[in-house]
Amino acid sequence: MAKRPLPKATVGRLPRYLGYLEGSERTTVSSKQLALGAATTDAIVRRDMLEMGISGTRGVGYDVATLITTFRDELGVEEDRRIVIIGVGHLGTALGNYAGFDASGFHVVGLYDTSPQKIGSEEAGHIIQDLDHLADDLGPNPSDTIAILAVPARAAQGAANAAVAAGITSLLNFAPGVLDLPDEVTVRHVDLSTELQLLAYFS
């Protein structure tokens, strides 16, 4: 039976809950403690738990191991997930070296580029592969892989097209602009310039 979809706001808080709990040595946690750790309110925590059918014990709280398992299952990271990075410039190289991926259950399995000067060289412990070979490298379950686009804006659509053609349906895009992709493809955008401009406005 398919899981009932969670509200987007609840899904958006799950990584914060998970990050707090996985970095904690607690065996139980109250809604107030979880709220403080995830920068929200205990009322919202209780509502999110209710959405997922999780019950706590009065005076004790929630079992941390159960919460971690449930949150990882809801997020689809109950098993390790593969990552490929497309674009091996400064950002792509930095992402390839980011130790936090492994700690969160995500593993970089390949770096890809279109530059003949970069293809065949080594970065972050991987030999940079030609983007044209992506489909051949992914194996029979390409939709289990997440592609990170660390390319300039002018190359983003082409990189996204190559990832989708290879069977990838989840993209994290660091390039500014809108991508024209099939409805079944999920894209999350991280526009660093926009975020910095907003910080400048509010500072």
Rounded CA separation 19/34 (Å): 11
Residue 138, in any domain of the structure: yes
Q: Is the same domain home to 107 and 27?
A: no
Rg over alpha carbons for the chain, rounded to the nearest Å, is: 19
Q: Is the same domain home to 192 and 115?
A: yes
Q: Which two tokens stand for residue 14?
A: 């799950």
Rounded CA separation 20/1 (Å): 30
b/e per residue 122-161 (b: at least 16 CB within 10 A):
ebbebebbbbeebeeebeeebebbbbbbbbeeebbbebbe
Task: Indicate the average pLDDT of the chain.
Answer: 90
Per the CB < 8 A criterion, the answer to whether 150 and 87 are in contact is yes
CB count in 10 Å sphere of residue 115: 13
Alpha-carbon dihedral 55, 61, 66, 72, rounded to 10 degrees: 90
Q: How many domains does the chain have?
A: 2
Q: Which two tokens stand for residue 62?
A: 């929630």
Using one digit for the tens of pLDDT, what is the confidence trace for 166-203?
A: 999 999 999 988 899 999 999 999 988 888 888 887 87
With a cut of 50, say whether residue 151 has pLDDT above it.
yes
Q: Is the same domain home to 117 and 51?
A: no
CB count in 10 Å sphere of residue 109: 15
pTM value > 0.95: no
Rounded CA separation 41/107 (Å): 32
Q: Is the same domain home to 18 and 94?
A: no
Q: What are the start-end ranges of the E strands in the chain?
A: 28-29, 62-63, 81-86, 106-113, 122-123, 126-127, 129-130, 145-149, 170-173, 186-189
Q: Is the same domain home to 181 and 90?
A: yes
Domain membership of residue 34 as a residue range: 8-75
116 or 143, higher pLDDT = 116
In this prediction, residue 13 has a pLDDT band, given cuts at 50, 70 and 90, of: very high
Using one digit for the tens of pLDDT, what is the confidence trace for 63-107?
A: 999 999 999 888 877 677 899 999 999 999 999 999 888 877 889
